[in-house]
Amino acid sequence: MTIPDSPVGTGISITIIALGAYLVGAIPFGYLIGRMKGLDIRKHGSGNIGATNVTRVVGKGWGRLCFFLDFLKGAIPVIVASMLAERESSQFVVEHLPAWLKMEPCLRGGEILACVAALAAVCGHIWPVYLNFKGGKGISTAAGAILALNPLALLSAGVVWVAVFFTSRYVSLASIAAAVSIAVFCVVYKFAGLSNANVPETILLFLLAALAVTKHASNIKRLREGTENKFERKKKIAPLSMAALQDSSAIHAAVLGDGAWGTALALTLHANGHKVKVWGAFQENIDAVNRDHENKKFLAGVPIPEGLEYTADLEYAVKDARLVVLATPSQYLRGILQQFKPYLNADTQIIVDIVKGIELSSLLPMSELCRQELGPTHYVALSGPSHAEEVARRIPTLVVTACEDRDIAEYVQRIFMNEFFRVYTSYDVVGVELGGALKNIYAIAAGIVDGAGMGDNSKAALMTRAIAEMSRLGKRLGGKKETFSGLSGVGDLIVTCTSRHSRNRYVGEELGKGRKLDEIIRSMNMVVAEGVKTCEAAYALSERWGVDTPLIHGIYAVLHDGRDPREVVRELMTRKAKNEEE
């Protein structure tokens, strides 16, 4: 075909160049590399398909390859477009095209063809048609495109990236700074006579800078909150010796958190003959427990035996501890970890996390939060159907410990297990954690059913569909589907949705009776219902990953949008009919 050298021809040429550049830019190399390694990169790390996440999840070599390929898919469309915009170069290109693609060089659009190709390639990476328009942030692809357009500005921005990264160790901050500086360098070099950048090129660089800032909005929020991931060299910890793991003698243990669940497990460890110290943040409660030998504020009616020590001195609590149990509310855990880190001995101490939640600001499960703040540790998650009020009174209870290291999982199993507290092991840390966190949301819904007087049929339906929804979201976030049929999934769901001890069910029940959420929370006197914040986090995660979670969305509407529970139930009941397996 022949495309005329006219405004219409210019438009056609620009369209063809833009489409071709977009399709090249949309090639998801990070996703393809993950598939080569047998995983979906979108389900690991940050969930991004860019080089940074590939490096974190798959390794440095694959990360470098991903960066190089993403870089090329930005540079190649710009180079081809530039050649087509020049008479001599384009004649050579046209001669080697198939007959149906041949066209006259379009000089009228030459000034902007390369810029259009650059923008289209970056948009392809960010919104790839091959992955339902959910891609990366486009930094590597933009770098390739800009190198082909204005190498001097890119090299200067590269210096900025290196300086910011090695100063802060934040890839996101370095990328934002470099993207903004490119546009600035372009203007400065233009006025200094060091560059002949044209107006479309300058506009493009400012557009790319704005796009980079926009795509990093969540990173900027985390940077401001201090929860952004730093890119640091992976530290290695010494493996625990088999002799230590097979030792059945009494140990020193520290429980960080003087709430009901922390106290119940401290009592369990003490009953097993271990030396236990419980740390609490509020000196007045610590003094009261040591004086009255009862934790009246969080676990009234249960005597605290002699030898089980409460302290507000964190360093003293964890000194010589083989086992450190994390037992604080999930939204406060990061701050506690930051206080604990100076006293951590990662080579010898085992971290047992009993916190059931997802951090709202970062959307991280507790294992990732611990890894971010403490680095690599011997980490174990403990969860299951276990109300503190019953564990503390030695009522038979079953839980599960999850650890990637089988020997450590079995060691912690032996440390906790006795005639009233039976412990199983698992190696699905993510699944066990998410089961314990997500069930709190559905317990609020169960309470709404009770408070509104809807009956047994309604609660049975809710719990059954909750199992399906929890498994669906949990699997998408990296857990194993079968884990949600176990103690930390179905087991914890049943007990939390039906028990009079459940704080989350209580919140829901009061909502069902017509009370307002703020009023309910104030009346609980610092006792935390994890499901309220976890619902916000799960709602955000389901939106991010495109998982159908009608129950979570409905509970979110009641908790955070102030919707009437009965109205939400009616909407859930009248949704489009579906197959039960969907």
Residue positions annotated with a catalytic role: 439
Residue 101: partners with Cβ closer than 8 Å, 6 or more residues away: 1
**Amino acid code (one letter) for 152:** L
Partners of 382 in beta bridges: 401
Q: What does the angle CA 97 – CA 102 – CA 104 come to, to the nearest 5 degrees?
A: 125
Contact, 442 vs 466, CB < 8 A? Answer: yes
User: Pairing between strand 309-311 and 275-279?
Assistant: parallel
Distance separating alpha carbons of residues 410 and 398, to the nearest angstrom: 15
**DSSP assignments along 91-133, one per residue:** HHHHHTS-GGG-----GGGHHHHHHHHHHHHHHHHHS-GGGTT
**DSSP assignments along 189-234, one per residue:** HHHTTS----HHHHHHHHHHHHHHHHHTHHHHHHHHHT-PPP--PP
**DSSP assignments along 237-276, one per residue:** -PPPPHHHHH--S--EEEEE--SHHHHHHHHHHHHTT-EE
In the numeric block, which tokens belong to residue 87? 């008479």
Coil, helix or strand at residue 49: coil
In the numeric block, which tokens belong to residue 406? 């089988």
Partners of 212 in beta bridges: none
In the numeric block, which tokens belong to residue 5? 């050298």
**Span between the terminal Cα atoms of the chain, in Å:** 49
Q: Which long-range contacts (CB under 8 A, 24 or more apart) does 27-34 make?
A: 27/69, 27/73, 27/124, 27/128, 27/130, 28/128, 28/130, 28/131, 28/135, 29/65, 29/66, 29/69, 29/70, 29/73, 30/54, 30/66, 30/70, 30/136, 31/131, 33/58, 33/62, 33/65, 33/66, 34/58
Helices of type H across 310-405: 314-318, 333-340, 366-374, 388-391
Radius of gyration of the chain (CA): 29
In the numeric block, which tokens belong to residue 253? 């243990």
Distance separating alpha carbons of residues 364 and 367, to the nearest angstrom: 8
Partners of 425 in beta bridges: 401
Distance separating alpha carbons of residues 544 and 131, to the nearest angstrom: 14
Partners of 352 in beta bridges: 325, 380
- Quote the DSSP letter at residue 6: S
User: Pairing between strand 397-402 and 378-383?
Assistant: antiparallel
